[in-house]
Amino acid sequence: MKDENGAVANLGLSLMPMADLTIEDTWFMAGMKGTGSNTIVARDVFVPSHRFLPYPPAFEGHYRSEFAGESLYRVALVPVTVLILIGSQLGVAQSALEHTIAAASKRGVTHTNYDKQRDSTGFQILVADAAMKIETAKLHAFRAADDLDRASQGGRHPNLVERARVRTDTALVAKYCRESVELLVSAHGTSSLADANRMQRLWRDAHVASHHAITEWQVNLEIYGKALLGVEPNITPLI
């Protein structure tokens, strides 16, 4: 929203009909090519106040909703908005694991005596390492979701430390999904990066998705560290 001088007075979410908007084709990335993550442009669109959700109160758990009695409509906005980013990343990592395991009895280890990858100790270690990263990622993802559900069901907005931990849990999931796919590409072999091999698409998608600004690992470590130590101000209001 802007004041009478045209300066930004408030930031938030606006609900607008697509008929009032245009889409610019701007998504030219190495991965996630099928997401349609293009730019939505609004020019001279009027948004009535009842279709605008200001960020400051929303970040504290105050929303425009007729369903305040339902826990889903009380869930902490920023943490759940971050958390929804990693479901697909878990799926990409799991798909890469399943693809690598399925091919392990049909592929050898080039320039070795192994006719089947599955018989190689080195291959076994890489696959196990990747699998454990995926399993650990799932544990952190479900812990974050459970934390948000419990708070919402109890009618309580999570405190700063709790919200920061959900962000950091989510960042760890993204990090481990990316690292697991890297391990599986190494295990599966150089052909993982061939255009005809679905592993190269999974590899590209994992890298692009996991590098979303809000799940960058070092950023979330700083956010969580400041929250744990009570250092103010934190580096972002998006907690």
The domain ranges of the chain are: 12-59, 71-229
What's residue 66's pLDDT? 79
179 C-beta neighbours (distance < 10 Å), count: 18
For the segment 27-61, what is each residue's pLDDT rounded down to a tens digit? 998 999 888 889 999 999 999 988 998 888 888 88
Global pTM reads 0.89
| Topology annotation, domain 71-229 | Butyryl-CoA Dehydrogenase, subunit A; domain 3 (1.20.140)
For the segment 201-213, what is each residue's pLDDT rounded down to a tens digit? 999 999 999 999 9
Q: Average per-residue pLDDT in the chain?
A: 93
Distance CA 114, CA 134 (A): 27
Average pLDDT of the segment spanning 168-186: 98
Distance CA 150, CA 85 (A): 20
The CATH H-level (homologous superfamily) assignment of domain 12-59 is Butyryl-CoA Dehydrogenase, subunit A, domain 2 (2.40.110.10)
3-class state of residue 157 by DSSP: coil
